[in-house]
Amino acid sequence: MAPAGDREGYWGPTTSTLDWCEENYAVTWYIAEFWNTVSNLIMILPPIFGAMQSVRSGLEKRYIASYLALTVVGMGSWCFHMTLKYEMQLLDELPMIYSCCIFVYCMFECFKMKKSVNYHLLFTLVLFSLIVTMVYLKVKEPIFHQVMYGMLVFTLVVRSIYIVTWVYPWLRGLGYTSLGVFLLGFLFWNIDNIFCDSLRNFRKKVPPVIGVTTQFHAWWHILTGLGSYLHILFRVCFTVVMGITFWASKLLLWPVAPFTAGLSARCQGIWLFFLCFEHPMLS
């Protein structure tokens, strides 16, 4: 966390219960944590594109909801780091819980052949979200939020490992890439918290172009945004195996999955970082 004594800017005194290691209002008077703010673009723009693709391709609403939930998290995080206001902090942290609940629902419903709704699971996740929200509004303890969020992420990790180990081993590369990128972001998040004083002292001694590379909370945004995006693609891959749609993807500046009904290409898999995770039944 950031040491006390940061400057004030356009948004006035900090009211959030968290203030990260980036120096406040160091880049511009209008944004409290500049790099922690703009790094959220990776959680805003690509998921919007993914949601638009999903609509055009006729995918189920749960995939569209996953993309849009990630976008909402990015927008909330943008507002929080831009202002460091408590209300904006809630706009960041609570959607993290809600979006993870959507991800959990999708992971446990990924083998459905028809567009059905698991009302028991849906009710459980909605109830969990409501309880977390009410408790967090009362106690205002960030550690509580982090533990609840960690429980949801742990559930996703265990479910993902089960799927790539016992059900779809051909998706192991994509699944573990998503997990590895996310965990690398978590490592940077911890470095930013634990070594904040050292990082700030280092930035004072080096040119800004080097110092910005040590904004590890911004790297947390970038890597968790990418990891979450890849996790959605990982779930979309299930639709190939289930015979719902055929699809191929290409590598541009960002991994994308343009869907094509009835596509008969030999390799109908996802190209990611020049690796082809190929569905063996389509070879």
Annotated binding residues for Ca(2+), written as ranges, equal: 19-20, 22, 24, 33
**Residue positions in the annotated binding site?**
19-20, 22, 24, 33, 81, 217, 221
Nearest to 178 by CA among 223, 133, 211: 223
* Residue positions forming the annotated binding site for Zn(2+): 81, 217, 221
Q: Which amino acid is at 215?
A: Q
**Rg of the chain taking only CA atoms, in angstroms:** 20
Tokens standing for residue 237? 């891959």
Strands 275-277 and 270-272: antiparallel
Q: 160: closest CA among 110, 107, 83?
A: 107
